[in-house]
Amino acid sequence: MTQAAVEQRDELADVPPEKRPQHIAVIMDGNGRWARRQGLPRIEGHRRGVASVRAVTEECARLKLKQLTLYCLSSENWKRPQPELDFLMHLLEQYLVEERATLLREQIRLTVIGRREGIPASVQEEMDRTIAMTAGHTGLNLCLAINYGARGEIVDAVRRIAADARAGIIDPASLDESTIEAKLYTAGMPDPDLLIRTAGEMRFSNYLLWQISYAEFWVTETCWPEFREPQLHAAIRDYAARNRKFGGLNAADLLA
């Protein structure tokens, strides 16, 4: 290992584990913008973005974080040109196959959230195969949001609750937040501590709207194809310096 690699691996040595986010969610934005700036077709931005997925996933696993959730394809992205969508599905299928060795070696568990409609059968097969192969892993949970939209997720949760109420399984008068959480795609997963968005955009884009209620938001001008360990470290370091109150006050505020 080179000295530069050693220095990079020690970048967060002064940030204690308890100050680091345990669940990071990412809106991977700017693939097309990056490609345009390079004079390349949009699909090259998506191709380059896979390398960022690999780098960030491996670093989160090395840092022993609990979960990394990546916004791969929104339910609104189906409006894009068909050739681009076809390429994205090809990239996803390729990723699911080629990354299995890394997932197995690093004990990374794969999960997927979102609706399956519209996803090619071949992609679904590789998705299910990789999920099954990694189901017993105890390391990082890599959650891919594919054909995902937060409003659609909440609608699906309400439908499940309504069906249970109709069947007499749930008493509508007893509904609370935990009832809804149990019916979301993310049931059983921790809420994100940190939400990262690349390419400088300041919006949530229908992503994990229920789950990010108290997440810290961090935005970088860096486009996703150029996002690597240094940017991830900067986000974690910034998160560690924040004072999370969850609507309350800490001792310093009470003394002020």
DSSP state of 256: -
b or e along 127-149 (b: 16 or more beta carbons within 10 Å of the residue's beta carbon)?
A: beebeeebeebebbbbbbbbbbb
CB 192 within 8 A of CB 216: no
DSSP reduced 3-state for 202: coil
Cα distances from 214 to residues 69, 142, 195, 244, in angstroms, run 16, 21, 10, 9
Tell me, yes or no, if 29 is annotated catalytic. yes
For the question of residue 77 being annotated catalytic, the response is yes
**Of 29, 31, 141, 193, which is the active-site residue?**
29
From the candidates 10, 14, 31, 77, which is the catalytic residue? 77
Radius of gyration of the chain from its Cα atoms, rounded to whole angstroms: 19
Residues with a known catalytic role: 29, 77
